[in-house]
Structure 1
Amino acid sequence: MKIGINSIIGVTTVATVMSCSSAKKEYASFELYPVRTGSLMEMEYTPEATKFTLWSPTAEEVRLMLYDEGEGGHAYETVKMELGEDGTWATVVNKNLLNKFYTFNVKINDKWQGDTPGINAHAVGVNGKRAAIIDWKATNPEGWENDQRPPLKSPADMIIYEMHHRDFSVDSTSGIKNKGKFLALTEHGTMNSDKLLTGIDHLIELGVTHVHLLPSYDYASVDETKLDENQYNWGYDPLNYNVPDGSYSTDPYQPATRVKEFKQMVQALHKAGIRVILDVVYNHTFNTAESNFERTVPGYFYRQKEDGTLANGSGCGNETASERPMMRKFMIESVLYWMKEYHIDGFRFDLMGVHDIETMNEIRKAVDEVDSTVCVYGEGWAAETPQYPVDSLAMKKNVAYMPGIAVFSDEFRDGLCGSVWEKGKGAFLAGVPGGENSVKFGIVGAIEHPQVRYDSVNYSRQAWAGQPTQMISYVSCHDGLCLVDRLKASMPEATPEQLVRLDKLAQTVVFTSQGIPFIYAGEEVMRDKQGVDNSYKSPDAVNAIDWRRKTMNGDVFMYYKRLIDLRKSHPAFRMGDAEKVRKHLEFLPVEGQNLIAFRLKDHANGDSWEDIIVAFNSRMTPARLAVPAGKYTVVCKDGVIDVRGLGTQTGTEVIIPGQSALIMYR
């Protein structure tokens, strides 16, 4: 979720008297609005005839406008729609409308609300102002019907890589032809000037299992007619929820192009063994008065305060009302549509805490009926207090009521790095004592564990996850300072060598924790953003990944690659079950602060290694650790990982070098 979005705020009060068709129809509250049965499809095309349908129960009149182009000009035909059941209007146009465009206009209380492509357009023209009628079969790449999700046995096996299309490929050093486009992720053989892999081959080499794409639906804050101006935005500005964004296509004027290219991207990632997660932003819209929701059914899709003004749990000018039946229905159908039409494998919910628990559980249930391996996770908070009972919201503290849904752990993140709100103050990584239990909280996956002192955990005073796979483990993401910038801000005197050591240490904690590991694109080559923490509209000079860094920081990349391989190879690091974690993960006693150690014992989760010792030392000096007697093989020490072994260790004491991790087994 970005901070500082400019939204157009419209004020809408709850309607008490509405007219419907020629007769007045009263609704005492939004809860009494009729609910459309069947799907929310608004356009059904055949060469012989096209049926248009729009849910607008408070409308007095609804018109359909047909256009030859996606922008400019006037409607060549206007068709009056007829009111049917459940507040739904419909009409049929008996001619071939292939490649035409359309909008709806709704009249309420003698006022026309303005053109809208509807709330559920699946194809649009440039900038998303008009919906499009296209040949859907032509949007399927060759072999699309045989496209399959890469196998996934357990959510504990996931390794998530969060990326922005433009960041990942736009830099001149990427060697990618379709820079900043969906197609960038279909190009194999791309390299930087030193012949090191970039693009999709880089992802394969790194070993991630999931790519989390920042918002890729049609968003409002980039003008698709001016792409030569190199506009930038993260995309948390929803316009049309069920259409790929035109700025990432090679031709935003051709509605079918963005659809096909998005599918080509998914297909290429699937062939590479990588699943695709879509960042979805159902909690608010870019604007309110001019939004598709408001122009169709004023007030209904948004929550209002008692005085009738808009609630603002998103911090962006409005918050949607997920608890209302048609908004809930819309969200469920939208998620299922992306799964069916685009073969999407997971969803990250922006500001999930704005939504109600029942809706999130209904989404999880609907997803499970199609494929239970599709992941659902989100931000377990809101920007401001939503206008809904807190105990009924999908907040982090209520995760126990949402089985199968995961949330980010800011306890873990800030226990390692320090509060995101105080950039200059570090925590465990910076050698600042007091964050150890917050880090332990993350290591066990936010579950109940007898050795975690919850009264010393930041933000949460109790476990909130029922299973460790309900926690996303991370140290940075697109929001806030990226890891390198965070380390620089909290440790301005740190040398380049120390930054490397701490970068490796941070991710070792993440990848040996029992939650689902998540890294921000470019962290593996020590990407920075020049200290900008809210780069949602910063230029490429700030946001783009400089692929020369893969050469400069080849040692760091190799460490990440081997760290991922270590996690994949040893199920003890990804038990995926709370009882197993409590049984097999034991924290070891340590002397002093800024030292954390634990043992994974008794062939945890069927691991071939009988006992694994993991220790994190954020002190600048070496630390001593008492360990159970035995002969150990060291696989990670002093910033180097090799699962084949770096040497052996015997006795009851081991030395952990400063600002590094130690992993050994027997």
Structure 2
Amino acid sequence: MKRYTQLPINQDSNQKQIKEALRLMTRDAVFVARNYYTGDLGAIYTPEFTDFKLWAPTASQVEIMIYDGYYGSLKKTMLMQKSADDRIFEKRIEGDQHGLTYRYRLTFMDSTVKMTVDPYAKAVTVNGHRSVVVDLARTNPEGWGDRMPPFENSQQAIIYELHVRDFSVDENGGMTHKGKFLAFTEKGTKNKVGSPTGMEYLKKLGVTHVEFLPLFDYATVDETVEEPVEYNWGYDPHNFNAPEGSYSTNPYDPFLRIKELKQMIQALHDAGIRVIMDVVYNHVYEVEHQSFHKTVPGYFYRYDEAGKLSNGTGVGNDTASERYMMRKYILDSVKYWVEEYHIDGFRFDLMGIHDITTMNEVRKTLDEIDPSILLFGEGWDLATALDSDEKASHNNASFMPRIGQFNDGLREALKGNDFDAKARGFINGAWYMEQKLAKNFMAGVDFGNYQDPKQLIQYVEAHDNYTLYDRLVAADPNLDKDSLIKRHELATTIVLLSQGIPFIHAGQEFLRTKQGVRDSYNSPDEINQIDWMRQETYRHSVELTRNLIALRKSEPLFTLNTYDEIKECMTLLRADYQIVAIEYKRDNERLIVVFNAQNNRVNYPLEEGEYIVKLIDGTVHLDDGTVTPVIDTIAIEPYTSIVLKQYLN
């Protein structure tokens, strides 16, 4: 691509040529290197005045458009001054400006005029069309205090992924604030037969972290409609630093959505559950209508050699995290969410679009606040306009310490390729998955591209995958129900006992179905909602999941911290004929773990002796009170697991 260090224009150039020159200039290496700003941006509030600062180096003029209230007509415009170094436009407005509603109007050299919200807006009007100045202290709920104390050991984390609306909208869920942040503040909710739902259910399940699909303001759900016609998970970013209004009880109030999100987080923290936020900095919904492109056209996105937007995300654009101001935006944003909302972790959507340096800088930024904040993402190797050795992909995980990666190796070893509904894995008939399963279960100990096991997020299903239940049904539609349930439980058992950080998709523990829809991002409630009565049908699976979580927490050998520990403590005893057996040994303690994916009972040979039974035939024994007589074999039922324990002399 031709590089421009100055505008190749003259007085006779037409507007189209000028616009193209401006767009190319913003991607020029010299422009990128020189035109950056390190200070605060956005509407910086104090009770005495508010400073407005906008990075717009290619604009010739910027005005603040001030409105009469949140939804009134334009009241006045105020010209902003360009800073001495020509990098930002700024304006101070005296007095307490809490609630002032504004947009920016930018004029460019080609006479183009664009109106936009503030990219750094922290409060917005309905559907995010206007920015609002906010005194954030006034949005704090009663009792809002400090962050939770640091999480002792990330290896102890158990992540539960859910969506605000999906989790609370079911009529059988017993929640009053259906589809809202406040659903998570409701206590004592039950389904129609009296079983706990909502927060009560989460507390009882025992997970340590809840990962929410996007909480920020997104584009395609009309917040003015009480029952939205459009459904979306939120992977269509609009305002990255303001909460989504459809989850508020009054989306017209710019401050209520902030307060109610804080109330939700506060309720989870009070229950001892930490909050992970799914963030989508890798793309925007519509480039031409997004504030990045309106403020500095051409700068915030990657382009291929033909000058077209890079599309590794598959949604039409990739942000350019390697450019200073895009990187700064990401760092400023995560810091804001942590400091203002007490967020405990981030899941980066399509993290492989971003560059290694940016992700390491995110880790550094979080460490300065709380090193126990979790950071992980989808490190897929995506076809974006960035060199392979710069991508924050799983191939480069060793260059990103303490940043986790979703391990699709375990997922596919368990159930087969996720893009093929008929594919098979270890749990349902694939005879060649045993070695792959064992290595991934041991956190990829011999893979060589991870620094420690905590970098692997271990899972079998997630929001945009087929649910495991749907995959099992598709592969074997005539399979008897008992075998299907046991296969499903076997997979969940393997995930929850694996080295690394286990991850559960909401409802996985009661065999969630999305009626065969894989990526149900825009499917209606009927497909996506959590069916709170399903826990009754699959009560055994729910209890098994709960007890496996407790077992993992109680046995330190399931949460080893380093690969040296894994190599020292774990030995693969067998991985063939749909059997995987592993021995753990440390100090005076020994565990034997065996997974049987055969459709018949297996008599597994043991060293002669007595064994404490921790798991057998789908039943967990949390104490050490269940002891075998002296035995040299043990029967393992089809599609089940055993965990045996011994204390050594």
Q: What interval of TM-score do these two structures reach, taking the shorter chain for normalisation?
A: over 0.9
| Pair 1:660 & 2:644 matched | no
The one-character-per-residue Cα deviations of 1:13-51 (angstroms, maximum 9, x if unpaired) are 98764599x9x9977815523444443321123444322
In structure 2, C-alpha distance between the alignment counterparts of 1:433 and 1:643, rounded to whole Å: 32
**Bigger shift: 627-636 or 646-655?**
646-655
| Pair 1:441 & 2:439 matched | yes
| Pair 1:138 & 2:117 matched | no
In structure 2, C-alpha distance between the alignment counterparts of 1:234 and 1:13, rounded to whole Å: 39
Does the 8 Å CA contact 2:207/2:273 hold for their aligned counterparts? yes
Aligned length: 631
Cα drift, residue 487 of structure 1: 1.4
Cα drift, residue 349 of structure 1: 0.3
Secondary structure at 1:556 match in 2 = helix
Q: Which residue of 2 aligns with 1:525?
A: 510
Secondary structure at 1:227 match in 2 = coil
Does the 8 Å CA contact 2:413/2:425 hold for their aligned counterparts? yes
In structure 2, C-alpha distance between the alignment counterparts of 1:431 and 1:254, rounded to whole Å: 54
Q: Which residue of 1 aligns with 2:408?
A: 410
The one-character-per-residue Cα deviations of 1:513-556 (angstroms, maximum 9, x if unpaired) are 11100000011122211111111011111110111112222111
| Pair 1:620 & 2:599 matched | yes
Q: Which residue of 2 aligns with 1:571?
A: 556
The one-character-per-residue Cα deviations of 1:579-603 (angstroms, maximum 9, x if unpaired) are 111100111136x511101011124
In structure 2, C-alpha distance between the alignment counterparts of 1:665 and 1:390, rounded to whole Å: 45
Cα drift, residue 278 of structure 1: 0.2
The structure 2 residue matched to 1:631, chosen from 610, 614, 622, is: 610
Question: What residue identity is the alignment partner of 1:661?
Answer: S
Q: Which residue of 2 aligns with 1:3?
A: none
| Pair 1:160 & 2:163 matched | no
Cα drift, residue 425 of structure 1: 1.6
| Pair 1:67 & 2:67 matched | yes
Residue pairs, 1:517-596, within 5 angstroms: 517-589=502-574, 592-596=576-580
Secondary structure at 1:614 match in 2 = strand
Cα drift, residue 87 of structure 1: 1.3
Cα drift, residue 97 of structure 1: 3.0
**Bigger shift: 612-621 or 462-471?**
462-471
The one-character-per-residue Cα deviations of 1:369-420 (angstroms, maximum 9, x if unpaired) are 11100010000115x4010101110011110110010101111100000101
**Bigger shift: 276-285 or 547-556?**
547-556
Q: Which residue of 2 aligns with 1:365?
A: 364
Q: Which residue of 2 aligns with 1:599?
A: 583
Does the 8 Å CA contact 1:16/1:28 hold for their aligned counterparts? no
Question: What residue identity is the alignment partner of 2:640?
Answer: S
The one-character-per-residue Cα deviations of 1:602-654 (angstroms, maximum 9, x if unpaired) are 24xxxxx7111111111100123222332112221112212235551533322
**Bigger shift: 286-295 or 627-636?**
627-636
Question: What residue identity is the alignment partner of 2:621?
Answer: D
Query: 1:46 and 1:19, CA in 2 relative to 1: closer, same or farther beyond 3 A?
Result: farther
Cα drift, residue 464 of structure 1: 2.3
Secondary structure at 1:115 match in 2 = strand
In structure 2, C-alpha distance between the alignment counterparts of 1:94 and 1:19, rounded to whole Å: 41
Secondary structure at 1:589 match in 2 = strand
Secondary structure at 1:597 match in 2 = strand
Secondary structure at 1:422 match in 2 = coil
Question: What residue identity is the alignment partner of 1:518?
Answer: F
Cα drift, residue 295 of structure 1: 0.1
**Bigger shift: 54-63 or 99-108?**
99-108
Does the 8 Å CA contact 2:50/2:95 hold for their aligned counterparts? yes
| Pair 1:304 & 2:303 matched | yes
Question: What residue identity is the alignment partner of 1:529?
Answer: K
Q: Which residue of 2 aligns with 1:606?
A: none
Secondary structure at 1:255 match in 2 = coil
Cα drift, residue 150 of structure 1: 5.1
In structure 1, C-alpha distance between the alignment counterparts of 2:434 and 2:138, rounded to whole Å: 56
Q: Which residue of 2 aligns with 1:89?
A: 89
| Pair 1:77 & 2:71 matched | no
In structure 2, C-alpha distance between the alignment counterparts of 1:98 and 1:28, rounded to whole Å: 36
Does the 8 Å CA contact 1:442/1:515 hold for their aligned counterparts? no
Residue pairs, 1:353-432, within 5 angstroms: 353-382=352-381, 384-432=382-430
> TM-score, normalized by length of structure 1?
0.91
In structure 1, C-alpha distance between the alignment counterparts of 2:249 and 2:75, rounded to whole Å: 28
The structure 2 residue matched to 1:509, chosen from 494, 497, 509, is: 494
Cα drift, residue 484 of structure 1: 1.1
Cα drift, residue 96 of structure 1: 4.1
Secondary structure at 2:574 match in 1 = coil
Q: Which residue of 2 aligns with 1:201?
A: 200
In structure 2, C-alpha distance between the alignment counterparts of 1:495 and 1:555, rounded to whole Å: 17
Q: Which residue of 2 aligns with 1:50?
A: 50
The one-character-per-residue Cα deviations of 1:415-446 (angstroms, maximum 9, x if unpaired) are 00010121112110112111112211221112
| Pair 1:272 & 2:257 matched | no
Residue pairs, 1:86-235, within 5 angstroms: 86-145=86-145, 147-149=146-148, 151-235=150-234
Does the 8 Å CA contact 1:276/1:346 hold for their aligned counterparts? yes
Cα drift, residue 135 of structure 1: 3.0
Query: 1:628 and 1:338, CA in 2 relative to 1: closer, same or farther beyond 3 A?
Result: same
Does the 8 Å CA contact 1:44/1:52 hold for their aligned counterparts? yes
Q: Which residue of 1 aligns with 2:236?
A: 237
Does the 8 Å CA contact 2:222/2:228 hold for their aligned counterparts? no
In structure 2, C-alpha distance between the alignment counterparts of 1:329 and 1:86, rounded to whole Å: 18
Query: 1:166 and 1:14, CA in 2 relative to 1: closer, same or farther beyond 3 A?
Result: farther
Question: What residue identity is the alignment partner of 2:401?
Answer: P
Cα drift, residue 77 of structure 1: 0.5
The one-character-per-residue Cα deviations of 1:138-190 (angstroms, maximum 9, x if unpaired) are 10011212x43155211100000000001111001111111111111111111
Q: Percent identity?
A: 41
Secondary structure at 2:325 match in 1 = helix
Does the 8 Å CA contact 2:27/2:299 hold for their aligned counterparts? no
Residue pairs, 1:469-484, within 5 angstroms: 469-484=454-469
Does the 8 Å CA contact 2:41/2:55 hold for their aligned counterparts? no
Does the 8 Å CA contact 1:417/1:427 hold for their aligned counterparts? yes
Secondary structure at 1:560 match in 2 = helix
The one-character-per-residue Cα deviations of 1:328-369 (angstroms, maximum 9, x if unpaired) are 111111111100000000000000000000110111011111
Q: Which residue of 2 aligns with 1:8?
A: none
The one-character-per-residue Cα deviations of 1:96-149 (angstroms, maximum 9, x if unpaired) are 43322111121123333422112111111111111112332210011212x431
In structure 2, C-alpha distance between the alignment counterparts of 1:19 and 1:90, rounded to whole Å: 28
Does the 8 Å CA contact 1:529/1:543 hold for their aligned counterparts? yes
Cα drift, residue 266 of structure 1: 0.8
In structure 2, C-alpha distance between the alignment counterparts of 1:204 and 1:150, rounded to whole Å: 18
Does the 8 Å CA contact 1:482/1:529 hold for their aligned counterparts? yes
In structure 2, C-alpha distance between the alignment counterparts of 1:96 and 1:148, rounded to whole Å: 28
Question: What residue identity is the alignment partner of 1:135?
Answer: D
Cα drift, residue 490 of structure 1: 2.0
In structure 2, C-alpha distance between the alignment counterparts of 1:510 and 1:150, rounded to whole Å: 27
Q: Which runs of 5+ in 1 are unaligned?
A: 1-11, 449-461, 604-608
Q: Which runs of 5+ in 2 are unaligned?
A: 12-20
